[in-house]
Amino acid sequence: MRLIVPLQSVVQGRGGLIFGSLIPCALFYFLQLYLKRHRSPKPQSNPPSPTTSSPKLAEMTRTSSRSNLFSRSIGQVRISSRAISIAKPNESPYYIGLDKASEDPYDRLSNPDGVIQLGLSENRLCFDLIEKWMSENLGHSITGRDNGELNINGIATYQPFDGTMELKLAMAGFMSHIMGGAVTFEPSQMVLTAGATPAIETLCFCLADQGNAFLVPTPYYPGFDRDVKFRTGVELIPVHCRSTDNFALSITALDQAFNQTRKHGTKIRGILLSNPANPVGNLLSREMLYAILDFAREKNIHVISDEIFAGSMYGNEEFVSMAEVLDSEGFDKNRVHIVYGLSKDLSLPGFRVGVIYSFNENVLAAARKLTRFSSVSAPTQRLLVSMLSDARFIEEYIKTNKRRLQNMHALFVAGLKGLNIRCADSSAGLYCWADMSKLISSYSEKGELELWDKLLNVGKINVTPGSACHCIEPGWFRCCFTALAEEDIPVVLERIRKAVENTTDLLNSS
């Protein structure tokens, strides 16, 4: 306090401005010096541990997460602006819910009050088949034998960054098989990546510059926000789809979004599609694929078709890949790029196996060089070549998987129907797209998030709210059912019922 008065008088005096700035600067400098000298010394031999609050989890309340970030001396050295935005506590319910469920996971026997995870599209239905195959085939199949002697040379040394030809051949065969044999994939047009996540990012780096944008139909997979935007500086422009036509994509909507964006001075470089769609689970018809390709040609933009759920079909509709359409018609193939991966159809997300499939030689050339940052691990390549080449196993797996998927889907959707919760029509995916709009207090994002919170914290089930997927209509939720056993379904339904017990217009009407 005693400092302020003299300062004021100084500022008001003749030398005001100079002293008014010099003195505070000097004071600030001495304050810094004082603080530096008196900073408490850190303990000797052990490196400081990171702050114990799980960095992966952001608390719902903003204030506590902010204080965690600044509570210990982070140091004054600067990180990039890119990094700063990524370092911010993640407030998306998609991630918050995933964390909450993984911290207190439901187990029928050992943790029956835990959170049931319906927010992660993971397929656990056919692990018994894969485990059996592992037991019977693994042995030393990853290291290989050379005259009976173990030989690690084949997998230890540098491999082609974009994947071995053996694995590309095996993947090409597998992809063709799961898409019903309607299309053949050329191994030479494949680039393998450590999961579909880097496949999407790599394509974005190749097709668009910083500041450009991709059109993406909504609702979409929350991960796209990270995959496309984190490091590339490319934007995503939503093209809204509505429940009135079962969230089908319309060329009119695409066109409107394209024109709007162009008016604002942003260049659209392509369309990012998921087919089968995530989170809705519907398919793009052959006619729609033609229409999209026509649109892309007219605007001279790219099309990325993420077909990662192509092998997770449970409906009767036929899946048509972009590749199939290109094969049959005279479309310009240079603008089409397909993404695939083994995380969903073969339940191996941990193994990190993704595919970029392109018809554009220049994109392939660039993508190949970029795979040095995200290659598939050699032992995994070896293992998968073995597994994917086992035609009998793959045949049985695909058949059984489809059957079990159909079964779970039917049970789950019927169960929700019994609670008067309708699902959008869908044919594929590991989830259903449920309309809980009648259960929310106010028809808004706020109302939706309140229901999400109630389901998570009261009902102890984690589902993904539509707002995390940029859905324009509130009240929709993605519920993944493939990590459940049949016995878990009644538990889930009961919990939903309990959580919304006091909501009006409940589950009484049939």
Partner 1 sequence: MAIEIEQPRVGLSKVAVSKTHGEDSPYFAGWKAYDENPYHETSNQSGVIQMGLAENQVSFDLLEKYLEEHSEASSWGKGAPGFRENALFQDYHGLKSFRQAMANFMEQIRGGRAKFDPDRIVLTAGATAANELLTFILADPGDALLIPTPYYPGFDRDLRWRTSVNIVPIHCDSSNNFQITPEAMEAAYQSAESMNLKVRGILITNPSNRLGATIQRSALEQILDFAVNKNIHLVSDEIYSGSTFSSSEFISIAEILETRGYKDAERVHIVYSLSKDLGLPGFRVGTIYSYNDQVVTTARRMSSFTLISSQTQHLLACMLSNKEFSENYIKTNRERLSKRYDMIIKGLKKAGIECLKGNAGLFCWMNLSPLLEKPTRESELALWKVILNEVKLNISPGSSCHCSEPGWFRVCFANMSEQTLEIALERIHKFMEQRKRN
- Between residue 158 and residue 177, which ones bind partner 1 under the rule CB under 8 A? 158-159
User: Is 308 labeled as catalytic in the residue annotation?
Assistant: yes
**Closer residue to partner 1 in complex, CB, 182/291:** 291
What is the per-residue binding string for partner 1 in 400-439, x denoting contact by CB under 8 A? ----------------------------------------
User: Is 306 labeled as catalytic in the residue annotation?
Assistant: yes
What is the C-alpha to C-alpha distance for residues 294 and 277, in angstroms, rounded to an integer? 20
- Other CB atoms within a 10 A radius of the CB of residue 302 amount to 24
**Closer residue to partner 1 in complex, CB, 122/445:** 122
Residue 373 binds partner 1, judged by CB under 8 A: yes
Instruction: Give me the catalytic one of 94, 95, 220, 221.
Output: 221
Q: Is there a contact between 346 and 127 (Cβ–Cβ < 8 Å)? A: no
HSE (side-chain half, CA atoms, 13 Å) at 430: 25
Query: Which range, of 47-55, 286-294, 391-399, 426-434, touches partner 1 by CB under 8 A?
Result: 47-55
Contact with partner 1 (CB under 8 A): which of 352, 460, 470, 495? 352
476-480 and 464-465 strand pairing: antiparallel
Q: How far is CA 421 from CA 298, 303, 413, 430, 465, in A?
A: 41, 35, 9, 18, 15
Helix or strand holding residue 434 (H, E)? strand 431-435
DSSP-derived secondary structure for 19-60: HHHHHHHHHHHHHHHHHHHTPPPPPSSSPPPPPSS-TT---S
Residue 224 binds partner 1, judged by CB under 8 A: no
Query: Which range, of 366-374, 450-458, 487-495, 500-508, touches partner 1 by CB under 8 A?
Result: 366-374
**Closer residue to partner 1 in complex, CB, 209/287:** 209
What is the per-residue binding string for partner 1 in 279-318, x denoting contact by CB under 8 A? ---------------------xxx----------------
Q: Is there a contact between 177 and 399 (Cβ–Cβ < 8 Å)? A: no
Residue 363 binds partner 1, judged by CB under 8 A: yes
Q: What are phi and psi of 76, to 5 degrees?
A: -95, 0
Residue 343 binds partner 1, judged by CB under 8 A: yes
Helix or strand holding residue 392 (H, E)? helix 391-418
Contact with partner 1 (CB under 8 A): which of 14, 140, 264, 392? 140
Contact with partner 1 (CB under 8 A): which of 189, 197, 437, 467? 197
What is the C-alpha to C-alpha distance for residues 144 and 382, in angstroms, rounded to an integer? 9
Helix then strand then coil, in percent of the chain rounded to 5, is 45, 15, 40
Helix 93-103 to helix 445-457 angle (10° resolution) is 0
**Closer residue to partner 1 in complex, CB, 55/418:** 55
Contact with partner 1 (CB under 8 A): which of 12, 61, 63, 76? 76
Shortest spacing between CB 56 and partner 1, in angstroms: 7
Residue 332 binds partner 1, judged by CB under 8 A: yes
User: Is 36 labeled as catalytic in the residue annotation?
Assistant: no
Contact with partner 1 (CB under 8 A): which of 66, 124, 262, 399? 124
DSSP-derived secondary structure for 178-203: HTTTS----GGGEEEESSHHHHHHHH
By annotation, the residues acting in catalysis are: 221, 306, 308, 344
